[in-house]
Amino acid sequence: MSTGAAIEKFRENKMLANFLRGARVAVIGMVFDAGVSIGRSSLLDVKTILIAAASIVAKVYRDRMMRAYHEQFPAYGFSENKGYGTARHLLALKEYGPCPIHRLTFRGVS
């Protein structure tokens, strides 16, 4: 799957937006069920929890996407580097040049 196709699929499914909406409802519902009043600091706590959860979802999604890219472009070691430049990855860039998923604006890629 190309980068563009993966991003489009993510947008179509609205996975992150749906996850965040559900998490917000669940967290706020738990707070109300417990009879806790929500003040400004409590809402910030909810936002922090949602940001942390979104970060985990994004990292899991990225790791899966990088494993799929590794199947298409095994020379670059995407399954090992998760998008960061390991020695093997940088060597492959020098030997083969960038593949279609590389961001050419990154230093060392173009």
Please name the residue that has the structure tokens 């030997």: 95
Give the pLDDT of residue 51. 79
Q: Which residues contact 2 (CB under 8 A, 6 or more apart)?
A: 100, 101
- pTM to 2 decimal places: 0.56
Give the pLDDT of residue 104. 82
User: Pick from 71, 84, 64, 85: which is nearest to 9 by CA?
Assistant: 64
Which tokens is 96 given?
Answer: 């083969």
Q: How is the chain split into domains, by residue range?
A: 3-72, 73-110
Please name the residue that has the structure tokens 């738990």: 30
Give the pLDDT of residue 49. 75
Give the pLDDT of residue 101. 87
Give the pLDDT of residue 74. 93
pLDDT tens, residue order, the chain (110 aa): 555 666 566 566 666 677 767 766 666 555 555 455 555 555 566 677 777 778 888 888 888 888 999 999 999 998 888 767 788 888 999 999 999 988 888 776 76
Give the pLDDT of residue 62. 86
Which tokens is 2 given?
Answer: 């190309």
